[in-house]
C-alpha cells in the first residue's frame, strides 16, 4: 500500500496568513493526488484534484503543486471559513489512501 504522510499534523494561523501543508507519498504517484477539506460534523469536500487543478466553486486562494512524491497545498490569505482539517489522498493505486490530516486552527 502507498503511505501518505502529511505535515504538520496541526497548525495555528491568523486570518490573512498564508498557510502551507505538505504531503509525501511513499512511492511515485505521478499527479494522482487530491486535497479535501473537512469541517466538524461534515463530509469531506474536494478542493484540488490532480495535484494542482482547482475544483469548480473552490476559491482561488487555494492552490496545489507537486508531482511524483512531494505535494503542497497552499491557502493564501486565510479566511475564517478555512479553519478546518485538510487531507491529501492518492488515487494512483488501490487501496486509495489518505494522509492523516492537518488541522488548521485559529491563533
Partner 1 sequence: EVQLVESGGNLVQPGGSLKLSCAASGFTFSGSAIHWVRQASGRGLEWVGRVRSRANSYATAYAASVTGRFTISRDDSNSTAYLQMTSVKTEDTAVYYCTRGDDFWTGYYFAFDIWGQGTMVTVSS
Place of cell 490530516: 101
Span of 20-28, 58-66, 70-78, 87-95 interacting with partner 1 by CB under 8 A = 87-95
How many helices (H) and strands (E) the chain has is answered by 0, 11
Q: How many residues bind partner 1 (CB under 8 A)?
A: 26
Going from the C-alpha of 69 to that of each of 14, 22, 73, the distances in angstroms are 29, 11, 14
Binding mask 20-39 for partner 1 (x = CB under 8 A): -----------xxxx-x-x-
- Kind plus residue range of the DSSP H or E element containing 10: strand 10-13
CB of 13 to partner 1, least distance (A): 21
Question: Where do contacts with partner 1 occur on this chain (CB under 8 A)?
Answer: 1, 31-34, 36, 38, 42-46, 49-50, 55, 87, 89, 91, 94-101
Amino acid at each position: 500500500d502507498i503511505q501518505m504522510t502529511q505535515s504538520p499534523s496541526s497548525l495555528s494561523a491568523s486570518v490573512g496568513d498564508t498557510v502551507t501543508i505538505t504531503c509525501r507519498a511513499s512511492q511515485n504517484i505521478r499527479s494522482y493526488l487530491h486535497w479535501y477539506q473537512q469541517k466538524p460534523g461534515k463530509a469531506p469536500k474536494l478542493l484540488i484534484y490532480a495535484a494542482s487543478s482547482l475544483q469548480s466553486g473552490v476559491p482561488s486562494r487555494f492552490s496545489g503543486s507537486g508531482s511524483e512524491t512531494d505535494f503542497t497545498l497552499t491557502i493564501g490569505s486565510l479566511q475564517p471559513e478555512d479553519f478546518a482539517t485538510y487531507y491529501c489522498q492518492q488515487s494512483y493505486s488501490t487501496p486509495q489512501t489518505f494522509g492523516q490530516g492537518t488541522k488548521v486552527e485559529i491563533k
